[in-house]
Structure 1
């Protein structure tokens, strides 16, 4: 009987000891986890440091994943917030002038002494300013969406000839008004990696600049030069030219060259062109001589 009580007592003591040890271990583990969390949150832990395969190291690695995801989402949210703020600021700045002009023309139209011809002229100016605001808004939204990666590019190996033909047809009216000609040197059609929709935007922006800053009856030449990795599409105009000091500046957002600041424009076309080409894995360069014209070279990747 005494033996049974001794066994029971020893068993009870053993269970109590296990419970005590377990409680101490759990408390220490919880304290360690709390310490790891605090260190991670305060940045006082080297998450890339090699650690032993213990429970603590596994918890640390899992915390790293959680913190990195949270940091990534925070950065994305901050980036989107900044882009929205930039877009609103840009819209406000760029729309200020056309809105002021629009308001002025509307006030002038209220004058009952205007002749029918004068009324028609002001109505035409109102329409022009409205079109300008629509274009600016569209352009800035496109740029913003491209910058944050909202727009998915469908760049694929497709024929260059059709892309060029469609681009030239889009500026036919502008060339006709200035009695200009776009000549494409004969070339063997090839498949280049690009999005037809977006690459047309690139070519149209370059053509429109060439038309705007060239004299009547002048010519724009398009030359296609095959290369090992890229194909170079050269757009050669006979315009006013660009100084070498401005070569690195003209692709910046809203930049207007010294010679063209009195000419209407937004300074967005070449910035958008560069942005689109970068998304496609291509790029753009410029060479120019003031008074003799410019050569814009678009580089698109060859299809492998």
Structure 2
């Protein structure tokens, strides 16, 4: 590709303009000489010279007008580039005209929109990483502090057997919490970064739900909480069985963990138009309107959950799983409890 040179093109343009003026002047002089030789009078010669001078003046005026127009276009292009560098949409040329400048305006607007979206995604990813690191350090602080503190206690030779057993129990709980936290964080980070790909297949959603029930059955039985399964429809839909079952399990686990002995959890599946709804209704304390907007945030725990084990990641993970399959997860109060609703498309 031949390299563009502004200086060379400028010199070439100036040379062509000078040649054009020189040729025009030669034509005028030649016409005047021919007129004098043919007529033999000076008046026609003066008229020809005057007309030629007027024509050259008009040419000069047109050249000046073109230079002004080109300068204005270049200034407008400079403004367009400024808007591109600042990622601000600015209409320099009209978009409703079928000209090259209008097409350039349209393409510049598309570039600005694309760069804006890319910057917003990068900013969101940056904030997400900052939040992840902050939340992780906060969650790791307590178990690591317990490990360090109670390990020092165990080094004391005067510790009684009963105290030693108590310290070991606390260390076991701290280790279990670290394991649970690390596994949960691995799931979340892999899911958010796209390292985990959901393999959606057309299969029975009912069997997926029952898999989650089997996983939570032991904990529900220990807590003396009954799970009632209501199946209004049996169908096959596109979904990832493993991760959808985990999302359902997290909702059931949340209902069991914060439930009271003798409570009942109603797990239902039904058809809603072109979607399938999976609902988990509990008899726990109703979630306030303010908290309903936050319980799906990563590491968020409600005001009345401090006495229960957990790190506030189950509902967040459930929402991420469902939304990546084109569905949605919501919660609303029902009577004296709450209803968590998963909605997935049938196709």
* Counterpart mapping for 1:1-304 below 5 A: 13-14=19-20, 28=71, 33-41=77-85, 43=88, 45-46=90-91, 49-114=94-159, 118-140=163-185, 142-143=187-188, 152-185=197-230, 188-216=233-261, 219-238=264-283, 240-243=284-287, 245=289, 248-249=292-293, 251-253=295-297, 254-280=299-325, 281-290=327-336, 293-303=337-347
Cα distance, 1:299–1:56 mapped onto 2, change above 3 Å: closer
Output the TM-score relative to the length of structure 2: 0.66
Cα distance, 1:95–1:51 mapped onto 2, change above 3 Å: same
Gaps spanning 5+ residues in structure 2: where? 1-15, 24-59
CA distance in 1 between counterparts of 2:148 and 2:246 reads 31
Please list the CA deviations of residues 164-191 of structure 1 after superposition, one character each: whole Å capped at 9, or x if unmatched.
Answer: 2221232244234435543434555312
Please list the CA deviations of residues 217-259 of structure 1 after superposition, one character each: whole Å capped at 9, or x if unmatched.
Answer: 6553423333323333333445x43255466246342443343
Output the TM-score relative to the length of structure 1: 0.74
Cα distance, 1:98–1:66 mapped onto 2, change above 3 Å: same
3-state DSSP of counterpart to 1:225: strand
Please list the CA deviations of residues 120-163 of structure 1 after superposition, one character each: whole Å capped at 9, or x if unmatched.
Answer: 55334323223323433443564466567675544443211221
Does the Cα contact within 8 Å between 2:231 and 2:270 map onto a contact in 1? no
CA distance in 2 between counterparts of 1:35 and 1:221 reads 63
3-state DSSP of counterpart to 2:214: helix
Task: State which structure, 1 or 2, has the greater radius of gyration over its C-alpha atoms.
Answer: 2
3-state DSSP of counterpart to 2:292: coil
CA distance in 2 between counterparts of 1:112 and 1:193 reads 61
Cα distance, 1:59–1:234 mapped onto 2, change above 3 Å: closer
How much has 1:47 moved relative to structure 2? 6.7
Does the Cα contact within 8 Å between 1:178 and 1:215 map onto a contact in 2? yes
Higher relative contact order (CA 8 A, sep 6+): 1
Does the Cα contact within 8 Å between 2:80 and 2:92 map onto a contact in 1? no
3-state DSSP of counterpart to 1:90: helix
How much has 1:87 moved relative to structure 2? 0.8
Does the Cα contact within 8 Å between 1:243 and 1:288 map onto a contact in 2? no
CA distance in 1 between counterparts of 2:239 and 2:124 reads 27
CA distance in 1 between counterparts of 2:189 and 2:91 reads 36
CA distance in 2 between counterparts of 1:236 and 1:71 reads 42
CA distance in 1 between counterparts of 2:287 and 2:69 reads 73
CA distance in 2 between counterparts of 1:162 and 1:36 reads 58
Gaps spanning 5+ residues in structure 1: where? 1-9
Aligned CA RMSD, in angstroms, stands at: 3.9
**Structure 1 residue ranges (4+ consecutive) displaced by more than 6 angstroms after TM superposition:** none
